[in-house]
Amino acid sequence: MNWDDLKYFLAVAREGSISGGAKKLGVQHSTLSRRLRTLESGMGTQLIERKKSGYELTQDGEKLRQAALRMEHELLKVDGNLMGRESRLTGELRVTAINNMASTILMPMFAGFAKAYPDIELHIMVTNTYASLAERDADIAIRLTNTPLDTLIGKRLVTIASSVYASKNYLQQIRKKNSGPQWLGVTCCGFHQAWTKQACNENRHHFNSDDTLLTLSALKQDMGLAYLPCFMGDSESLLERYCPPDESLDLGLWILFHPDLKRNAKVLAFREYMMKEITSSKHLFEGKI
């Protein structure tokens, strides 16, 4: 049995669709579909069936999933043990980070690390969703949370403050008219969505955004109010705080990695570099202007 075929099968089983599995693995839909047909043909049984609700595993598919998970677990243990003892500052290093941070305040730090360690092949993967370090989706995760997984090794680097922002022009307009502000509907993350719902009783919004960078652009176009992390809002000359940051909204910025990698030279080098750089910009993250 080809382990690569099992990896394709597991991706579909986890994501619930061929398109989702293909996206996770970074392959074409047709490639993944073909590998599944090859696996089913080789085993002489149907593993996945398509229903109205999506793809579901057959009984044989569920049996194979359990077996494949055990195989993956053992392979990752071996891989982790080998990677954990890696002492060379060469090769691939995969880092997952939130888009609004990776493309703004963290990018000069990433660039500095890449220049300081030219033999390390740095891969930055932006996502606001969960990335499994145990399944080696990435080697390191930079995440905003106050409750990191206790199965990971991590360090809280700094506190991220947030506030409500609008364009200076928009605030002048509503103050002149003595009218109430309009809130943007945001679904970029659970934090901003919950904070907006708490601050604004409206169920419908005249403008909605599922990305923080898009929200920032909308605010600059005088579209209303929205929550932003202070490191983004304070850096924009067109924006102004609508109110002071609320300490109850503070989040921790963590750098996390799997215990298997606690002695990996690349991981440790990246952690130390980012700790130093982020600490030196602490005031920006904490919104102290």
Confidence of residue 86 (pLDDT cuts 50, 70, 90): low
| Residue ranges of the chain assigned to CATH 3.40.190.10 | 91-160+250-285, 162-249
Computed over every residue of the chain, the mean pLDDT equals 86
Residue 120: which residues within 8 A CB-CB, separation 6 or more? 89, 90, 91, 92, 93, 113, 114, 266, 269
Match 């919104």 to its residue by tokens.
287
Residue 267 or 76, more confident: 267
pTM above 0.95, yes or no: no
Q: Which tokens hold the place of 257?
A: 């990695």
Q: Could you give the CA distance from residue 117 to residue 231 in angstroms, rounded to a whole number?
A: 27
| Residue ranges of the chain assigned to CATH 1.10.10.10 | 3-84
Share of the chain above pLDDT 70, in %: 91
Residues in the chain: 289
Q: Could you give the CA distance from residue 215 to residue 264 in angstroms, rounded to a whole number?
A: 38
Confidence of residue 152 (pLDDT cuts 50, 70, 90): confident
Pairing mode, strands 162-167 and 226-229 = antiparallel
Q: Which tokens hold the place of 121?
A: 């092949």
Buried b or exposed e, range 230-267, using 16+ CB within 10 angstroms = bbbbbeeeebbbbeebeeebebbbbbbbbebbeebbbb
Beta-ladder partners of 226 = 165
CATH 3.90.1300.10 is the classification of domain 162-249: no
Q: Could you give the CA distance from residue 272 to residue 243 in angstroms, rounded to a whole number?
A: 35
pLDDT tens digits, one per residue of 65-80: 888 888 877 776 666 5
CATH 3.40.190.10 is the classification of domain 91-160+250-285: yes
Q: For the chain, how are helix, strand and coil distributed in percent, rounded to 5?
A: 45, 20, 30
pLDDT tens digits, one per residue of 189-231: 888 889 998 888 777 888 999 999 999 999 999 999 999 999 9
> Which is nearest to 224 in space by CA: 262, 184, 172?
184
Q: Give me the CATH topology for the region 3-84.
A: Arc Repressor Mutant, subunit A (1.10.10)
Confidence of residue 85 (pLDDT cuts 50, 70, 90): low
